[in-house]
Structure 1
């Protein structure tokens, strides 16, 4: 069976509508056409193949069960399915870490390790760009919850309301913390502060 291109939203909508009517064959076609891209998306968030595979499976179960609630006027099919994958991936991160922070893999473990490793060789130190090292240092200077909010908003691409929901804090607090944290990062980077 030839796969429809992922960028054919009409076909994806048709498969979703058929899946809502419990058409397993259409759902299989939807899976075949979209799972490679959605798996890649989960892998970028999780950085672990086993977790990404688990999240993909959970996501498609959710897509099957929620297909009736898909509203084409609100989101393209891939956008809707990617949101499900992202939410499942973030849930998986919380299960693994107990909290959702900037995980070391996402922020670049080389940079963070170099910040805390005074014994790094000159070659290792040269491999880290000065801008990346400065940003990592300035991020490390933020308060823990502020760093977490910035990480969720910018590294995990969550909206302010999603961050507020994930952290169980008011959206106004999230906006204030993000604004203040960005100001602190800007000031830190402008001063050229280094570890």
Structure 2
């Protein structure tokens, strides 16, 4: 299997129209993507057809791939999986009135997933700059919905101290994310 950096480079070169890079990308990733499509479609012939269509999407969509986020294999596998599911839905819609076949996938696409993963990594890295109890207090306050009073009791500090912790921690997170 090729390294993440090699695959990143091949995708970037595909965006520039480099056919040799596309060949390398195909040679090193097609077996994995074929396995993904075969698992979803459960039909070897259809999976082979889908694989060709997937690589057309990769070739055309390489310009939208952003390095630094999710791994390039995650991006490729997401494209393959979504394409295979779309084919499965199309197959089911011709076989009968399956309500799921007509429901669009409302989840984020591969590009949005890659961006979200990159942003999540940045936020986690900034949380790591906080003291553990401060980071825990921020998570509990803004992700779990704990009140200032609940947090003050949990961390055994005065209420105003908790407010100060949270305010200073948010300022430090904002500076980290902007910097």
TM-score normalised per structure 1: 0.49
Structure 2 residue matching 1:98: 3-state secondary structure: helix
> Does residue 42 of structure 2 align to residue 47 of structure 1?
yes
The gaps in structure 1 that reach 5 residues or longer are: 100-143, 153-157, 164-195
Q: Where does residue 85 of structure 1 map in the other structure?
A: 80
**5 Å matches for 1:4-153?**
5-6=1-2, 8-98=3-93
Which of 162, 165, 168 lines up with 2:107 in the alignment?
162
Separation (CA, whole Å) in 2 of partners of 1:27 and 1:52: 20
**Deviation of residue 75 (structure 1)?**
1.7
Separation (CA, whole Å) in 2 of partners of 1:28 and 1:54: 17
**Deviation of residue 74 (structure 1)?**
2.5
Deviations 1:95-154 (A, max 9, x none): 11118xxxxxxxxxxxxxxxxxxxxxxxxxxxxxxxxxxxxxxxxxxxx97xx6xxx9xx
Structure 2 residue matching 1:162: 3-state secondary structure: coil
Structure 2 residue matching 1:36: 3-state secondary structure: helix
Question: Over aligned residue pairs, what C-alpha RMSD do you find?
Answer: 2.7
TM-score normalised per structure 2: 0.53
**Deviation of residue 11 (structure 1)?**
0.3
The gaps in structure 2 that reach 5 residues or longer are: 109-179
Aligned residue pairs, count: 105
Separation (CA, whole Å) in 2 of partners of 1:58 and 1:96: 16
Separation (CA, whole Å) in 1 of partners of 2:62 and 2:70: 13
**Deviation of residue 162 (structure 1)?**
2.2
Displaced runs of 4+ in structure 1, greater than 2 A? Answer: none
**Deviation of residue 78 (structure 1)?**
0.5
Q: Where does residue 176 of structure 1 map in the other structure?
A: none
Which structure has the larger Rg over C-alpha atoms?
2
